[in-house]
Structure 1
C-alpha cells in the first residue's frame, strides 16, 4: 500500500539554522522509515539554508495563502496523513484539508507552545512572574483550538504536556508527548569525543532571529561575560547562529574575547571542540536544541531553569541558575575543574539515553498512529470540542481567507 504524507510547513526545514528544523527532519526520517511517500508544501519563501528535499526523495511544493488552488492540489494528492508544522499552518489550511480530504488523519506538531513563550516574554519585559491569567491569552485560544481541531497533537516537552492536561484540561487522547528523537550513542563514539584537556573556550549558539536567543546573547554580553572573563582572562566566547544582523555583529569585540562567529556549517564540530556551552535562556518554551547538541557531543553547559525545562529535574544540579553571580560561578568551575566537567558530561549522555530514546518514542508514535487509523471515526466522535470548532459558524479564519481570495481575484 502506497501511504502518503503531506507536510504543510510554516517554513522550509533548516536543520542547520534552528531546533525547529532539526525537529522536522526527525519527523520526516520517521515517516520515511515507515515507507511513506512524502510531499512537503509551504507558502514561505526558501532561504539558502533550506535543506534539499529533492535529494531526500521528498517532493517540495510551493503553495499560496488564501488560494483555492490549494484545494485542488490537496484533493489530487489525497494524503493519508496531513502534518501541520505549528498551529498557524493549521489555521490557514486546516479547513481546506477538512473539506477536500475529510478522511485524512491530521497531526499538529506544536514545536513549542507559542502562547507559553509569548506569555513568558511579556512577563519578562514587565519584570513580572507569569500568572495563570497571563496564560489565557489570545494566542492560547488560537493554539488550543488548533489542537482540538486536529486528530493528534505532538507535544515536545513533558512540562508543556503537563500544562495542557492540568491547567487547560485537554484530554490526553488528542495529545502525544514526542520529544526530540535521539539515536543511541555507542560507547565507541563516546570514547572518541574530545576530552577536557583537548577543548578550548566557551560557546553559545542559536538562531539570532529567535528573540529568546538574541536576549541570551545580550545578557551574556552585558551581564555575564565580564565576570567570567575576569576570572578566566584567556578564555573566549564563540557565539554562533544563523541570520546575524547588524545589531548582533556590533557585539563582536576581540579585545574582550566576545566573538560573533555567525552561521555554523557543522554544529557538531564547533560543539565538540568547545569546553563549555553557555545558554542563559530567560524566556521561551519547548526544548532547547542547543542543549541536546551539547549533550550529544559531550559538552557540559550552564543554563537556566527555563533552558533545561522538560529535559531533567534541575532542583539538585549545580549548573542551572537564574542568578547572574551563580551562573558565572558555575561557568568558571566547569571550565577549570576536569572532574566536575567529566561528571556533567556523563550526566548529559545518561539523560539522552534514558529520557530521549529514539527507538522508544518512535514505537509509541507508530502505535498511536495505527490505533488512530483503525478508529478514526470513533476518535473524532469522542472529541466533541474538536467537532464544534470545525463547525463553519466558528471558523473566522476560513471566511477571512475566502474574503481575501475574493478581493485578490478582482
Structure 2
C-alpha cells in the first residue's frame, strides 16, 4: 500500500508540536508496512542532513518553496493556502491508495490530483477559530488585522476543502463531535495525534524539581499565556515554595526573550535542540495558554515524558483528559498556583497523575488501529 502525505511544513527535525504530530503519524504508517512519500512546503533551504534523515525513513521526498506576495489577498484564499499555491503545479502521476492533506493550508495540491484519488483531510484545528483566537491575543494592529482576515477567509475555504475530500480526520475529539453530527461515520472520523506507548518515559517523581514551560514565543497566544502566568501565578509560587524555579524553553526566531529578565527565579533556554534533560529535571509541566483551538501538542508531549501536567482548560481542549485524574487544572491564578504547589510537594500525586495520563494516552492516542481501519476502507 502506498500513501502520500502532503505537509505544510517539513517535519524533519520534529522540533515543535506541529512537526511532531506529522512525523509521528508518518512513523505509525511506516510501522504498519505502508510505503510513504512526502510532499512538503518550505520557506527556506532545508539542511542536507535533515533531508537525508527524511529519505532514510520515506520513499520519495519532494519540497515546494512557499512564496510571499501582497497580491495573494485578492485570490480569495487564506494567505496560508495562497503562499503554498505552488503545490497546484505538482502533477502527481503516482498511483497512491490514499493522499493525506495535513491541514487545509495544503489544499492547492488538489489541482494536481485526479478524480479517482482518495483524499483524507487531517483537521488540526478549527482554522477560523484558531486565527480568531490569535487575533484576540495579538497587540500589534497589523498582525491583528491579518489574523482576523485569515479567520474570515478560512471559514469559507475550510468548508470547500472538506467537501472536496473523501475523508475528514479530526485531531480533536471535541471538534469531531461537533462536525461529525449528520455526517456518515465512514467519512468523518476521529484520528488523534499518534502516541507510541512503548516510547513513553516512566514518571520520575521529585519534590524539588523545576516547573517547566515549553512553547514557541513568536505566536501571540503562547506569549499571552506565559505572561498571564508570570504576572499572576509566578509570584504566588515564589512566596509559597522556597525552592520554586520556572524553566522556559522555546523558539524566539532569533528575537530573544529579554522580557523574562524582569522576573526572578526564571531560567530561559532559547530554541534548545533537545528537551530531554529539561523534562528529566522537571517536577511539573505547565500549559497556561488562554486562547487557541485544537489539541495542544505540548501537553501530550509532556505526558509522554512522564511529567505531570497543570493546565488551563484551553490547554487540554479536545483531548478528553479528565481534571484531577490525568492532569490538574486551573483557570484562575489561585487555582493554577495551588495545583502547581500540590504537585511540587506531593511525589505520590505526581506519580499518580503522570501514570494515569500515560495509561489514557496508550488507550486513546495510539492511532495505529484507527489508521489500519482507514486504510482498509
Per the normalisation by structure 1, the TM-score is 0.75
Deviates more, 1:108-117 or 1:325-334: 108-117
Contact 2:38 2:58 in 1 (8 A): no
The answer to whether residue 367 in structure 2 is matched with residue 366 in structure 1 is: no
Instruction: Note closer, same or farther for the CA distance 1:225–1:67 as it changes in structure 2 (3 Å cut).
Output: closer
Deviations along 1:70-125, one digit per CA (max 9) or x if unpaired, are 34x423x34332221210111x221232xxx3222112122222123234445667
How much does 1:316 deviate? 5.5
Assess if the C-alpha contact under 8 Å between 1:251 and 1:260 holds in 2.
Answer: no
SS at match of 2:248: strand
Task: State whether structure 2 residue 15 is matched by structure 1 residue 9.
Answer: no
Q: 2:274 aligns with which of 248, 262, 266?
A: 266
Give yes or no for contact 2:247–2:266 (8 Å, CA) kept in 1. Answer: yes
Alignment of 1:1-400 (within 5 A): 3-14=1-12, 16-33=14-31, 34-46=33-45, 52-63=53-64, 65-66=84-85, 70-71=89-90, 73-75=91-93, 77-90=94-107, 92-97=108-113, 101-122=114-135, 137-166=152-181, 169-185=182-198, 190=202, 193-197=203-207, 200-246=209-255, 248-253=256-261, 256-314=264-322, 319-356=328-365, 358=366, 361-371=367-377
Distance 1:46 1:24, change over 3 A: farther
- The separation in 2 between residues aligned to 1:80 and 1:312, in whole angstroms, is 31
- Distance of 1:177 and 1:326 partners within structure 2: 31
Residue-by-residue CA offset, 1:184-222 (whole Å, 9 max, x unaligned): 2489x63xx43325x621110012233332222222222
Cα distance in 2 for partners of 1:8, 1:313 equals 29
The alpha-carbon distance between structure 1 residues 341 and 173, as it changes in their structure 2 partners (threshold 3 A), is same
Distance in 2 (CA, whole Å) between partners of 1:15 and 1:355 is 26
Residues 47-73 of structure 1 show CA distances to partners (whole Å, capped at 9, x for unaligned) of 5596731232443223355559834x4
Give the conservation status (yes or no) of the 8 Å contact 2:121–2:168. yes
Question: How many equivalent residue pairs?
Answer: 344
Question: TM-score, normalization: structure 2?
Answer: 0.81
> Secondary structure of the equivalent of 1:253?
helix
Whole-Å separation in 1 of the counterparts to 2:198 and 2:57: 24
In structure 2, what is the Cα distance between the partners aligned to 1:195 and 1:311?
A: 24
Q: Unaligned stretches of 5+ in structure 2? A: 66-83, 140-150
Cα distance between partner residues in 1 of 2:333 and 2:87? 53
- Per-residue CA deviations over 1:237-271 (Å, capped at 9, x if unaligned) read 1111123543x511233870122212232233321
Q: Is the 8 A contact 1:5 1:83 kept in 2?
A: yes
**CA–CA separation in structure 1 for the residues paired with 2:164 and 2:97:** 17
Q: Which stretches in structure 1 are left out of the alignment for 5+ residues?
A: 127-135, 372-410
Query: For residue 404 of structure 1, what is the aligned residue in structure 2?
Result: none
Whether the 8 Å contact between 1:282 and 1:304 is mirrored in structure 2 is yes
Report deviation, 1:228. Answer: 1.5
- How far apart are 1:346 and its partner, in Å? 2.3
Runs of 4+ deviating beyond 6 Å: none
- Greater share of helix: 1
Q: If you compute each CA radius of gyration, which structure gives the higher value, 1 or 2?
A: 1
